[in-house]
Amino acid sequence: MRRFALIPTLLVPAALVAQAPAPSLGDRVKAERPAVDKLLAELKFPEAQKRAEALLPAEKPVFDKTNNQTMVQSCATYMDLGQAYRMALETADAAGAWEKALEYAKAAKALSLESYAAVKEPFTQTVTYYTASGVRAKQVLEENADRIKELKAMTTLDPGQRQELDLALGVEKEVGDSAKWVKFFQTYLDVTKRESEAFDPLVTIMEKKLQGEQDQINEYKGGKGDKTKWVEAVVSSPAYLEAQGDKAGKARFLYRLATLDPESKKVQHQLDILNGRAAAAAPKATKKGKKG
């Protein structure tokens, strides 16, 4: 039976085989998501933003390219951090902090691009290697199929036959291991590629929102380019608020105005009314004309 070298263990460190990466940040994001969603549902957007932002690290972790194990772990860390940025983005957008939301979208995009760029070549080479290893192992099994069948049918094996059968079983295992690692590393390639494109729409959306708003401020006749005057005019017009639809839409609108002009008492009053902290003014009664 032709000998066939088993997969070099240097390509797959023992620690990578023994355990899957489990970054603590991913667990924290999952654990915080229900509480953040509850705050958003209650229209407590600033509180939700603060809770989401608390998950963001002070410094970006370094992508470790030492070997396949460290790159897999770094991929997982960057994807988890991307999800943390996504949650911070969502809450900042709701709380009217559009500039922050754009910042988080760009940060997540940069992370995902860095991650994919780091693993694209080495993981592609690894997939190619294991694909070829699997093909060669299958070829060995096919070439020795009759002998392997004969050995497996024997009830008693001499030392030489036992060595032959053990080698054959090792090659069979190599076929399965090769397929497993091809799938494993190809999955990371596919996921990191998808992540590298996932934040593009979010960046675009936030840029368009900010530009559209700035265009309105620039075109406001009562004070071209003066955002404070624009906020005053907008919040003084009930039609603008009604156009935002449901209560959540109105809250998002008012929190954005509050971000643009934190000192606006009119905006804060409308928020107080919306959140039940103040009563809305009663509609003015109209005088009826006398009949002649």
User: Distance between CA atoms of 289 and 269, rounded to whole angstroms?
Assistant: 34
Looking at residues 273-288, what average pLDDT do you find?
A: 67
Looking at residues 58-85, what average pLDDT do you find?
A: 95
User: Distance between CA atoms of 115 and 62, rounded to whole angstroms?
Assistant: 10
Longest dimension (CA), the chain: 125
Is the pLDDT reported for residue 4 higher than 70? no
User: Distance between CA atoms of 95 and 9, rounded to whole angstroms?
Assistant: 51
Looking at residues 257-284, what average pLDDT do you find?
A: 85
User: Distance between CA atoms of 101 and 92, rounded to whole angstroms?
Assistant: 5
pLDDT, averaged across the chain: 88
Is the pLDDT reported for residue 288 higher than 70? no
Is the pLDDT reported for residue 92 higher than 80? yes
Q: Could you tell me if 195 and 79 are in contact, meaning their C-beta atoms sit under 8 angstroms apart?
A: yes
Distance, C-alpha 101 to centroid of its chain: 14
Is the pLDDT reported for residue 131 higher than 70? yes
pLDDT at residue number 1: 45
Show the tokens assigned to 228: 């404070």
Is the pLDDT reported for residue 251 higher than 70? yes
Residue 283's pLDDT band (boundaries 50, 70, 90)? Answer: low
pLDDT at residue number 225: 86
Where exactly are the structural domains of the chain?
Answer: 9-202, 222-281
The CA-atom distances, in angstroms, between 268 and each of 58, 257, 278 are: 31, 9, 10
Is the pLDDT reported for residue 139 higher than 80? yes
pLDDT at residue number 5: 37
pLDDT at residue number 9: 38
Is the pLDDT reported for residue 221 higher than 60? yes
Looking at residues 118-127, what average pLDDT do you find?
A: 97
Looking at residues 231-251, what average pLDDT do you find?
A: 93
pLDDT at residue number 281: 60
pLDDT at residue number 276: 85
pLDDT at residue number 278: 76
Looking at residues 203-215, what average pLDDT do you find?
A: 97
Show the tokens assigned to 36: 């953040």
Looking at residues 184-200, what average pLDDT do you find?
A: 96
pLDDT at residue number 104: 98
pLDDT at residue number 290: 47
Is the pLDDT reported for residue 141 higher than 80? yes
Show the tokens assigned to 133: 């290893």
Residue 181's pLDDT band (boundaries 50, 70, 90)? Answer: very high
pLDDT at residue number 268: 94
User: Distance between CA atoms of 114 and 255, rounded to whole angstroms?
Assistant: 34
Residue 16's pLDDT band (boundaries 50, 70, 90)? Answer: low
